C-alpha cells in the first residue's frame, strides 16, 4: 500500500461504539503511531470532503497519519473497489447491507472498540451521498498468530459463564500473552456460534451480552456468524441476522495480516421454519454460501493479483463432512456444504488455501483438493459445557474425545504452522491412549442409576469386555502427514487407523446424563471419529512407547504403563 500526502481528519458514522455505549472519540483521533496516539491528527485539521460523482452514493478516504493510502479494498458487501493514489474511493452502493467496510491491508490495523476492530462503518438507508472515511494504524504483522476459537455457545446455563471465566479465558490469555511477550502480534478469529439462539430470550443472553466476554481476551477479535447467532423469532435469513449486524457487524468480509489474506464467510442460510415474533421456530438451516456472497467473494479475490498469496477462508459450518475410512485404512471425504464445489471453484486460482470451520465440536482435517486444506476445529465449549458442569465429569471434552480447545496458527511471512491447544493442558498434549483391557463401560461403574441395557445403546463396542491387549490412541490434530509409531520391547507394532467412538466421552456425557435420569441429546452424543488408531500388544502388562510426529516434525511421546486405568480423570 502506498501513502499519498493528503492530510485530513476522519469523519462519518461511529459504528459499533454507539451500540455498546462507548465514546466515539477513540475512533476519531487514534493515530497511526501506537506509541504516540493522537499526535498526527489534530481536531482543528478540518475534514477533506471528496466531490460527488455521478451514480456514486458512498465515498471516502482511507488514510494513515492523515496521509491517504492507495490500493485499499473497499466494499459494501456487493460492490468492490480500490482506493486511488490519494486514498479516495467511490461506490455505486444500493446500501443493502447497511455498511461499508475495508479489507484492512497487511501491516496495518484499524482502531478498535473493546476488542472489535473498526473496519466498517454504518450507512443510512437514504439515497443521499455519504462520506465514510477510515484511518489505519501502521504495524508490523508479517509475523503474527491467529487463534481460531469455535463454538462458544455462551447462554448463561450449565455454569458456562463460570467455566469460561475460570478455565477457558485464563488458558486463552496465557497463550496470547506468551506470544505478545515475544513481540508477536496476536488476533483471535471466532468460528461462529458465539451464543445459543434457543436461550436468547429465556435466559436474556444474546450477542450483546457476548461482547463483554469477548472483550476479556487480550487481543483483537474478528467475529464470524454461526447458525446459533441468528434471531430465533424470524423465519427469514436476512432478518434473523439483523441483530448480529447491529451488535457485531458484517456477516462476511475480508482482511489482511502481513502477507495472508483472510476471508470470513457466512455459511448458513437460516430457515427457522414456523418462527414468528415471540415464537421460536425449528431453528433449521441450510449449509450454503448464498449467491450474493459468492459474487462478492469473486470480486474480493480478483483484487489479489499474486495467486500464490496464502488464503485463509473462515466459516462456521464445514466444507467437508467428518471423514470416513475405507477398507484399506485410507481417509475418504465428502462435501458437506451444499454448494461446496462452487466455493472450491472460486478459490481454484490460488495455490495455498486453508479453510477454517467449526460447528461439529470435533477436530478433523481434509486435503481432498490440491492446494486446499480444511481444518475443522473443535469447540471451546466442548460438549456444550456439559462435562464440566457442576456435579458432572469434572473434565472438558468434545464428542470426538478431543479436549475442549482452540487452534493456534503461527505465521512467519507466508509460512504457516498450526496446532490444537487443549484447555488446561500444555500445548504438547496432542493425544490420549486407552488400554482397552480396562475399558468396560457398565452401569455399575459409570451410571448406577441407569440400566446396563440403556447404557449399552451408547457404549457401543465398550459395552463388552475386551481382553485382547489392544490399545486405542486418539490423536486429535491428526492429518495425513502425521506419523504414529508404537513400540513394545523395542519392536514396532502394526498401527491401524480406525473410525470408532472415544470411550472417555461416553462416560463423561452419555453415562452421566443417563445417571441423572435424562436422555442424552442426540446432537451431543459421542460421534465416531477417524483420528483414532489401534495396536495390539503381546501381553496385558507390557509398557508401550508411543511416538507421534506431526506434519511439522514436532514429536510427542508417552511411555504407556499398562494396565492403564480408565476413569473420568484420565489424561
CA of 295: how far to CAs of 63, 299, 507, in Å? Answer: 28, 7, 47
CB-based contacts of 193: which residues, under 8 Å, 6+ apart?
150, 151, 152, 153, 226, 227, 228, 229, 316, 358, 359, 379
Query: In which element (H, E) is residue 239 found?
Result: helix 237-240
CATH of segment(s) 431-560: 2.60.40
Q: What is the pLDDT of residue 4?
A: 46
Q: What is the pLDDT of residue 9?
A: 31
> What backbone torsions phi and psi does residue 157 show, to the nearest 5 degrees?
-150, 165
Query: In which element (H, E) is residue 210 found?
Result: helix 207-214
Strand partners, 175: none
CATH of segment(s) 143-422: 3.60.21.10
Closest CA to 132 of 179, 63, 54, 227: 63
Query: In which element (H, E) is residue 91 found?
Result: strand 88-91
Give the model confidence (pLDDT) of 218-251 as tens digits. Answer: 999 999 999 999 999 999 999 999 999 999 999 9
Give the model confidence (pLDDT) of 506-531 as tens digits. Answer: 999 999 999 999 999 999 999 999 99
Q: What is the pLDDT of residue 1?
A: 62
Q: What is the pLDDT of residue 47?
A: 66
Low-confidence ranges of the chain (pLDDT < 50): 4-46
Cell of 98: 447497511
Which 3 state secondary structure label does DSSP give 323?
coil
CATH class of 2-137: mainly beta
Q: What is the pLDDT of residue 414?
A: 97
> How many Å is the Cα radius of gyration of the chain?
25
Whole-model pTM: value is 0.92
Q: Where do the domains of the chain lie?
A: 2-137, 143-422, 431-560
Same fold, 2-137 and 431-560: yes
Q: What is the pLDDT of residue 342?
A: 98
CA of 163: how far to CAs of 133, 215, 301, 382, in Å? Answer: 41, 16, 40, 11
Q: What is the pLDDT of residue 125?
A: 87
> What backbone torsions phi and psi does residue 28 show, to the nearest 5 degrees?
-70, -30
Query: In which element (H, E) is residue 504 found?
Result: helix 503-505
Kindly report whether the peptide bond that precedes residue 563 is cis, defined as omega within 30 degrees of 0: yes
Q: Round to whole Å and give the CA distance between 294 and 346.
A: 8
Amino acid at each position: 500500500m502506498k501513502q499519498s500526502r493528503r492530510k485530513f481528519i476522519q469523519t462519518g458514522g461511529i459504528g459499533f461504539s454507539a451500540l455498546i455505549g462507548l465514546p466515539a472519540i477513540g475512533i476519531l483521533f487514534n493515530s497511526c503511531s501506537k506509541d504516540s496516539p493522537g499526535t498526527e491528527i489534530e481536531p482543528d485539521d478540518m475534514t477533506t470532503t471528496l466531490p460527488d460523482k455521478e451514480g456514486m452514493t458512498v465515498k471516502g478516504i482511507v488514510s494513515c497519519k492523515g496521509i491517504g493510502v492507495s490500493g485499499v479494498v473497499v466494499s459494501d458487501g456487493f460492490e468492490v473497489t480500490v482506493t486511488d493514489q490519494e486514498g479516495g474511493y467511490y461506490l455505486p452502493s444500493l446500501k443493502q447491507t447497511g455498511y461499508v467496510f475495508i479489507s484492512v491491508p497487511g501491516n496495518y490495523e484499524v482502531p478498535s472498540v473493546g476488542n472489535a476492530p473498526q473496519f466498517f462503518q454504518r450507512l443510512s438507508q437514504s439515497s443521499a451521498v455519504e462520506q465514510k472515511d477510515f484511518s489505519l494504524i501502521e504495524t508490523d504483522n508479517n509475523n503474527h498468530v491467529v487463534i481460531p476459537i469455535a463454538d462458544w455457545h455462551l447462554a448463561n446455563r450449565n455454569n458456562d459463564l463460570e467455566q469460561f471465566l475460570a478455565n477457558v479465558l485464563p488458558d486463552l490469555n496465557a497463550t496470547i500473552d506468551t506470544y505478545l511477550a515475544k513481540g508477536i502480534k496476536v488476533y483471535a478469529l471466532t468460528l461462529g456460534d458465539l451464543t445459543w439462539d434457543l436461550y436468547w430470550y429465556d435466559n436474556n443472553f444474546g450477542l450483546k451480552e457476548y461482547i463483554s466476554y469477548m472483550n476479556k481476551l487480550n487481543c483483537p477479535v474478528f467475529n464470524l456468524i454461526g447458525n446459533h447467532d441468528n434471531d430465533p423469532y424470524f423465519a427469514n435469513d436476512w432478518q434473523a441476522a439483523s441483530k448480529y449486524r447491529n451488535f457485531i457487524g458484517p456477516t462476511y468480509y475480508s482482511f489482511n495480516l502481513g502477507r495472508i489474506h483472510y476471508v470470513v464467510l457466512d455459511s448458513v442460510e437460516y430457515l427457522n421454519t414456523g418462527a414468528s415474533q415471540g415464537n421460536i421456530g425449528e431453528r433449521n438451516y441450510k449449509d450454503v454460501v448464498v449467491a450474493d456472497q459468492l459474487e462478492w467473494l469473486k470480486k474480493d479475490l480478483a483484487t489479489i493479483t499474486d495467486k500464490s498469496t496464502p488464503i485463509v477462508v473462515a466459516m462456521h459450518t464445514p466444507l467437508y463432512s467428518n471423514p470416513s475410512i475405507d477398507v484399506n485404512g485410507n481417509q475418504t471425504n465428502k462435501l458437506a456444504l451444499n454448494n461446496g464445489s462452487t466455493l472450491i471453484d472460486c478459490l481454484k486460482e490460488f495455490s495455498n488455501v486453508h479453510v477454517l470451520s467449526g460447528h461439529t465440536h470435533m477436530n478433523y482435517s481434509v486435503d481432498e483438493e490440491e492446494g486446499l486444506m480444511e481444518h475443522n476445529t473443535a469447540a471451546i465449549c466442548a460438549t456444550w459445557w456439559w462435562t464440566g458442569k457442576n456435579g458432572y465429569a469434572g473434565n472438558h471434552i468434545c464428542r470426538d474425545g478431543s479436549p475442549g480447545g482452540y487452534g493456534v496458527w503461527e505465521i512467519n511471512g507466508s509460512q504457516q504452522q498450526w496446532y490444537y491447544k487443549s484447555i488446561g493442558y500444555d500445548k504438547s498434549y496432542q493425544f490420549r491412549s486407552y488400554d482397552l483391557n480396562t475399558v468396560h463401560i457398565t452401569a455399575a461403574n459409570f451410571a448406577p442409576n441407569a440400566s446396563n441395557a440403556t447404557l449399552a445403546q451408547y457404549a457401543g463396542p465398550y459395552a463388552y469386555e475386551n481382553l485382547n491387549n489392544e490399545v486405542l490412541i486418539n490423536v486429535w490434530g491428526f492429518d495425513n502427514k502425521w506419523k504414529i509409531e508404537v513400540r513394545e520391547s523395542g519392536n514396532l507394532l502394526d498401527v491401524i487407523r480406525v473410525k470408532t467412538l472415544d470411550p472417555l466421552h461416553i462416560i463423561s456425557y452419555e453415562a452421566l446424563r443417563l445417571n441423572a435420569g435424562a436422555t442424552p441429546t442426540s446432537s451431543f452424543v459421542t460421534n465416531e471419529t477417524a483420528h483414532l488408531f489401534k495396536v495390539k500388544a503381546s501381553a496385558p502388562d507390557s509398557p508401550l512407547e508411543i511416538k507421534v510426529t506431526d506434519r511439522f516434525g514436532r514429536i510427542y511421546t508417552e511411555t504407556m504403563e499398562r494396565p492403564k486405568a480408565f476413569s473420568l480423570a484420565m489424561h
